[in-house]
Amino acid sequence: MALPIVSKEPHFLQSVESYFDRAAKLSGVSEGTLGHIRAVDSVLRVTFPIELDDGSTEVIEGYRAQHSRHRLPVKGGIRYSEEVDLQEVEALASLMTYKCAVVDVPFGGAKGGIRIDPKRYTLDQLERITRRYTMELCQKKFIGPGVDVPAPDVGTGPREMSWIMDTYRQFNPDDVNAAGCVTGKPLSQGGVRGRTEATGLGGIREFLSYPEVQERTGLSGKIKDSSVIIQGFGNVGYYAAKFFEANGARVIGIGERDCSIYDSDGLDIENLFKHHRETGSFRGFSDKAEIMDVPADVLERECDILIPAALERQIGLRNVDKIKAKLIGEAANGPMTPGAHEVLEKRGVVVVPDLLLNAGGVTVSYFEWLKNLSHVRFGRMNKKWDESVRTRLLTLVEESAGRVLTQAERKQIVHGAEEADLIYSGLEDTMISSCEETRQTANLKNVNYRTAAFINAIQKIAAVYEGSGMIFMT
């Protein structure tokens, strides 16, 4: 009896290693160095008890994987999910290493998680679980501004990052850089302005501007008037939808856990978000919109751009033949299996890979980490100086031209960069240069964009290892 198609698909870690192996053959890096890069450096597994409200005790299981310490600190999120296991955190840690290298963020890769459904626990219990997990990381030297810097992921957010930072600070009271032990914090705890809404989806705009992408997809080269479907309506999915809406696209479908919603005329993102936040579902939002009881079905609807922004392995051999998008941007980690990717590439579908497109999060985390180490807000030292220089220059221009600008015009020209402006600027510059670098490698090697991004990452990591001499390797 033939096995179901889904059973033939590799696990997430095997998928990442498959992509790596394919790129490694074209990287020109020695076998010894490739073996070193591919292997996970360190793994931590912890268990600890938590007392529940009824007096019973539950044993909680947590993980942290450090894939590569070629640069320190290592960096990667912490997720709370019942799906968390050792293989998943190893795969995500590996992907994080390559992601950082692709966008030239000087971190190694790591990932962590606690095997729980956070919705089953009270706020007090979640805080105790988070602090106990952090205590384990502190005791095993798996956290610190120069060692390992976590961030939010599935099931976690700024609240959990605040608990982590405070716990680390209690165990390291003399560490003046303690705020840099974790990123994704609230602004009041050392976070950065603009992080929540900052995404790497500007990469979609870059790829659409490439003539070869326009030729393959038949798209105009602009986001405006494109039809977009997004799977996932958490932080990433919501701001992805806002990004496309702001750039003139029609967001026609959005998927969530219990159902998906579809409207060929386009959805009102802000009102849909408010409805979903109030009711926990898309049901009842509109009489006109179609509700799909099988959430994954929205992936199979016809659209120009498809953005998987949920979990891993959402597009596989089981459904790839039903995918009708012309361009797929992986806003989630590992949303596509290698087999599905190969099928889509043969059909001419352009896939913008996760290790490039969703690197906006770690890029902004890098900026937050820099802010924490420098102990000064971005723009604080130069904003007023920039404004005074522009004011003097503008006055000279007005005198020369014989025209005085209105107050609104003057303010627009003179305004110095705020922290959020600098964050957006740094992120945009990072994505533009990384997309172009990936494009050049793809064209030079005649490979797809995922393989090109992996080749670039492998070569950059190898340069660090080989340039440092790799002590104790011989």
Distance, in Å, from the CA atom of 459 to the CA atom of 199, rounded to the nearest integer, reads 26
Query: Residue 157: exposed, middle, or buried by beta-carbon count in 10 A (0-12, 13-18, 19+)?
Result: middle
Distance, in Å, from the CA atom of 137 to the CA atom of 300, rounded to the nearest integer, reads 42
* CA dihedral of residues 242, 204, 413, 388 (deg, nearest 10): 100
SS (H, E, C) 279-305: HCCCCCCCCCCEEECCHHHHHHCCCCE
User: Under 8 Å CB-to-CB from 66, ≥6 apart: which residues?
Assistant: 40, 41, 42, 43, 74, 93, 108, 109, 110, 142, 148
**Smallest Cα–Cα separation from 379: which of 426, 418, 427?**
418
Residue 148: how many other CB atoms lie within 10 Å? 27
User: Could you identify the residue written with the tokens 């268990």?
Assistant: 47
Q: What are phi and psi of 336, to 5 degrees?
A: -130, 135
Distance, in Å, from the CA atom of 190 to the CA atom of 370, rounded to the nearest integer, reads 11
Distance, in Å, from the CA atom of 168 to the CA atom of 143, rounded to the nearest integer, reads 8
Q: Name the token pair of 335.
A: 């949303």
Catalytic machinery residues:
111
Beta strand 57-66 with 42-51 is: antiparallel
Taken in order 313, 314, 319, 320, the sign of the CA dihedral is negative
* CA dihedral of residues 392, 394, 399, 400 (deg, nearest 10): 120
Q: Name the token pair of 249.
A: 């696209």
Peptide bond into 308 cis (omega under 30): no
In the chain, DSSP finds a helix count (H) and a strand count (E) of 16, 12
Contact 111, 143 (CB under 8 A): no
Contact 93, 73 (CB under 8 A): no
